[in-house]
Chains A and B, each alone.
Chain A
Amino acid sequence: MANLLWLQTGSCSGDTMSLLTADGPSIESLIRSGAIELLWHPSLTNAPSGHLARLIAAIEAGEQALDILCIEGSLITGPVGTGMFDAYKGRPKIEIVASLAAQAQHVVAMGTCATFGGIPAAPPNPTDCTGLQFDRALPGGLLPADWRSRSGQPVINLAGCPVHPLTITRCLAMLAAGLPLELDFLNRPTAFFSSTVHQGCTRNEYHEYDMEDHQLGERGCLYFNLGCQGPMTLANCNSALWNGRSSKTRAGVPCFGCTSPDFPRDVDLFRTEKIGAVPVNLPLGVARAHYMAYKNLALKAAPDRLKDREMEP
């Protein structure tokens, strides 16, 4: 049994909606089985007005233990460092978050906003917001890079806009069960961030043989021309399907790299940046010369069924 407090900062509620969409484990099954006790969730808790303020005070005073603190949303420091663009009862949320984080066994950043700053942190970052322990790709956000929770771990970064539903509930179940949670170089759990979005994409065969689409709405690969970040993005979208059904790339929507620190990239999102005929950003870890050689060969080997777009993604 682990208790959990979920706070929203500069958020769209998308990660909460994602939480409600997870069906195995689901939030209700985690509660029913006794894995999670919900101290507070802004959308789900049924408690009288004033309950949250009392709860925060009790945790800050050390009277109430806190196992898991989940933060959803960017940490807004504006205007001019006051944090008052996002306040709770006249107190900046960033101050409340920092104070609660000091008391928590585990702190989880729910979504790319809480992890890296996300969309609100895109230029010109009008609210001066940041992530919990990263500011875009730079270590150190609201909390410094060397900050550790009571369990000794940094902030656990569940990146994604939103986080994949099952990543949320599986991670909470792991924490509640005391299972090990190894983190990657951006403090994202390797259990969910060790494959690319490209892996499992049903347009892979088109990519393999260099059958690249030039306009949306078709069946081919979206990487070369239409901005798809799938080969560079670590996330499980095509190995744990969304809503039990599909993924953006399967449905013909480019991956926008929403689990990465630079999301949303400051370029046209439906267009691939190129040097000559080759994308600037190549699949993770691939050398340019090798990639060009491989693609030239692949194109020559492409079967007609792909050239004619007969294969359904």
Chain B
Amino acid sequence: MSRVTLDIDLNRVEGDLEFQVDLEGKRIVDARCIGTLYRGFEQLLIGRAPKDSLVITPRVCGICGTAHLYTAVLALEHLGRIPVPPQATLIRNLCLMAENVQSDLRQTFLFFTPDFVHPRYAGHPLAAEIAAAFTPLKGRTVLGCLAASRKILEIVAIFGGQWPHSSYMLPGGVTRGANARDLVDCADLVDQVSHWFAEEVLGDDLEAWLALDSADAFFAWLDEPRHAASALGLFCSVARSVGLQAIGAGAEYFLSGGACHDPARWQPPYGEQKTLLAAGLYDGRQHRLESFDPGLIEEHVRHSWYRPYPGGRHPFAGETVPDHQPDSDRYTWAKAPRYGGKVIETGPLAELLAGGDRLLASLLAAEGPSAWLRQFARLRRAATALRLMRQHVADLGRHLKEPHFLPPADDALEDGEGFGLVAAARGMLGHWVQVRDGRISRYQIVTPTAWNASPKDSDGRHGHWEQSVIGLELADPDDPLELGHIVRSHDPCLVCTVHFASRDKRFRYGV
């Protein structure tokens, strides 16, 4: 059969994404995920004061700047073995979860569900319900999502002054501690958003829904009319009726660096991730959780527009020199991270599988990974976060008299190296920093989408998204809606994926 190559651009993702697929008939037989933007971010940090990373790196990504800020500050604290008071960790976690809830809600109802309002589904039995709930910028759930996502971000503004893009986390703490007034306001904001989430998204009590712990229990829950009529119910019914539970499997290894640093245990020397939701590699075939070792992270550039090196390199030893060769078999500005040589998926599904969510493990065992499960996990994570946020606000009340900032010694950031890992909205985010004589000498960022959207590696293995679409049958190659469902289920964020890793000196291209 003859092979046709199709170039597809997708919007309603963060940033620029082009997908190139080879078709035989209507079946995808090969795929190339193309990052089309290169911004040179890490290069800007070389030679700057270490703390400048707290201003520069949040600007890597408008939608997850809090995650970048948190990761940058962890990397500096690791470098200087700087202690952080529990109140500061609680405030950081609270702000990061607020940002993640914002992102999960917007990704679901601004980016993912609009695909259901597509002419192809005009004859769907639920078309009227879909239109009422999910019509872009007009549907009931969409408007509620915009209001709720604005509301939850007020928590970041209380502690950080603004969202997006602030720099309120410092090595040793945060710029501003909590007071009783803040706790009342935060509790109210979490309550308002939780209330909307329960009423509109779940059609059920948040705790009752989180207590569901098996596929059978969930499908029984979904059969209840009140649940089926909720936004989640509608999303599940429509997605499953068009088969999204059967496509988009991908790598089947799920990696999480852990979520929500444990305020009580998060102290120097920071060797291992001490988080409330555990770190780990979840093997989706064997249904087994393996321990996590950040030393196993490597990046390959064999199919990326960078000067070649053999195999993969750990971020502390990374080298990346742009080498744009559009007419070769290199096809993207993204690099290919691998974990112990494995292609992995990261994101809410990975975070919750590693964290011990029994419902998701049960659904994974019953049906395997899919576009539906991945998107479902995102709403599950939002609910999990809202519950944790409520607990965090209560915990903060017990730490009000304690410091929010322990100023580090003047020379704490003079020399050394460190890294930080957090659970950002789209999965595991890592920063690796090296400092010499008080100046940043190397800075490397490995974003969640870098993992998910990676190109082929040195051994020719496709990245996770590429794997997730190869074999897919397209109903209409001119309008590859199924591909959109699968790719958007990964919550792509290309703006922070495509960057430029550092070298030991400042470098200017083309001079």
CB atoms of B36 and A86 under 8 A apart = yes
Q: A15-B62, A248-B166, A248-B167 are in contact. Are A44 and B55 (CB under 8 A)?
A: no
Shortest Cβ distance from residue A313 to the other chain B in the assembled complex, whole angstroms = 8
Binds B, one of A96-104, A251-259, A282-290: A251-259
Q: State which residues 395-451 of B face A: CB under 8 Å.
A: 404-405, 407
State how many residues of chain A have any CB contact under 8 Å with chain B.
Answer: 80
B162 at the binding interface (Cβ < 8 Å): yes
Report which of A12, A28, A89, A246 forms a contact with B495, defined as CB distance below 8 A.
A12
Report which of A11, A27, A50, A124 forms a contact with B506, defined as CB distance below 8 A.
A124
Binds B, one of A146-154, A172-180, A236-244: A236-244
- In the bound complex, residues from chain A placing their C-beta under 8 Å from that of B506 are 123-124
Residue in chain A with minimal CB distance to B408:
A215
A277 at the binding interface (Cβ < 8 Å): no
A49 at the binding interface (Cβ < 8 Å): yes
A200 at the binding interface (Cβ < 8 Å): no
Q: State which residues 216-259 of A face B: CB under 8 Å.
A: 216-217, 237, 241-253, 256, 258
CB atoms of A217 and B138 under 8 A apart = no
Shortest Cβ distance from residue B299 to the other chain A in the assembled complex, whole angstroms = 18
Shortest Cβ distance from residue A245 to the other chain B in the assembled complex, whole angstroms = 4
CB atoms of B12 and A217 under 8 A apart = no
- In the bound complex, residues from chain B placing their C-beta under 8 Å from that of A45 are 11-12, 136
Shortest Cβ distance from residue B391 to the other chain A in the assembled complex, whole angstroms = 22
Binds B, one of A18-26, A62-70, A131-139, A293-301: A18-26
Residue in chain A with minimal CB distance to B438:
A268
Provide the bound-state CA to CA distance between A122 and B59, in Å: 13
Q: A23-B150, A44-B137, A120-B41 are in contact. Are A126 and B500 (CB under 8 A)?
A: yes
Provide the bound-state CA to CA distance between A123 and B143, in Å: 41
CB atoms of B62 and A251 under 8 A apart = no
CB atoms of A120 and B39 under 8 A apart = yes
CB atoms of A248 and B160 under 8 A apart = yes
Provide the bound-state CA to CA distance between A215 and B53, in Å: 18
A130 at the binding interface (Cβ < 8 Å): no
B124-162 toward A: CB 8 Å interface, digit per residue (1/0)? 000000000000111000110011011001101111111
Provide the bound-state CA to CA distance between A237 and B173, in Å: 24
- In the bound complex, residues from chain B placing their C-beta under 8 Å from that of A87 are 36
A125 at the binding interface (Cβ < 8 Å): yes
Report which of A26, A43, A243 forms a contact with B162, defined as CB distance below 8 A.
A243
A14 at the binding interface (Cβ < 8 Å): yes
Q: State which residues 1-19 of B face A: CB under 8 Å.
A: 7-12, 14-16, 18
Provide the bound-state CA to CA distance between A18 and B164, in Å: 7
A161-175 toward B: CB 8 Å interface, digit per residue (1/0)? 110000000000000
Q: State which residues 51-67 of A face B: CB under 8 Å.
A: 52-53
Q: A85-B38, A122-B44 are in contact. Are A43 and B110 (CB under 8 A)?
A: yes
Q: A14-B165, A120-B40 are in contact. Are A256 and B55 (CB under 8 A)?
A: yes
B187 at the binding interface (Cβ < 8 Å): no
B219-242 toward A: CB 8 Å interface, digit per residue (1/0)? 000000000000000000000000
Shortest Cβ distance from residue A191 to the other chain B in the assembled complex, whole angstroms = 20
- Among B60, B146, B478, chain A packs the most CB atoms within 10 A around the CB of B146
A88 at the binding interface (Cβ < 8 Å): yes
CB atoms of B163 and A243 under 8 A apart = yes
CB atoms of A79 and B51 under 8 A apart = no
CB atoms of A20 and B40 under 8 A apart = no
Interface CB pairs A-B, < 8 A, 28: A11-B62, A13-B63, A14-B164, A21-B164, A28-B142, A44-B110, A46-B115, A48-B118, A48-B479, A76-B38, A79-B322, A80-B509, A88-B16, A118-B59, A120-B41, A120-B44, A123-B506, A124-B43, A124-B44, A126-B509, A162-B165, A217-B407, A243-B162, A248-B160, A248-B161, A250-B161, A253-B167, A264-B56
Chain A residues in contact with chain B, CB under 8 A?
8, 10-18, 20-21, 23, 26-28, 31-32, 38, 42-50, 52-53, 74, 76, 78-81, 84-90, 118-120, 122-128, 161-162, 215-217, 237, 241-253, 256, 258, 264, 268-271, 312
Extra pairs beyond A80-B510, A84-B324 (11, CB < 8 Å):
A12-B59, A12-B495, A21-B150, A52-B9, A85-B322, A89-B18, A127-B38, A217-B170, A248-B160, A251-B166, A253-B167
- 3 A-B pairs with least C-beta separation: A14-B62, A126-B40, A252-B175
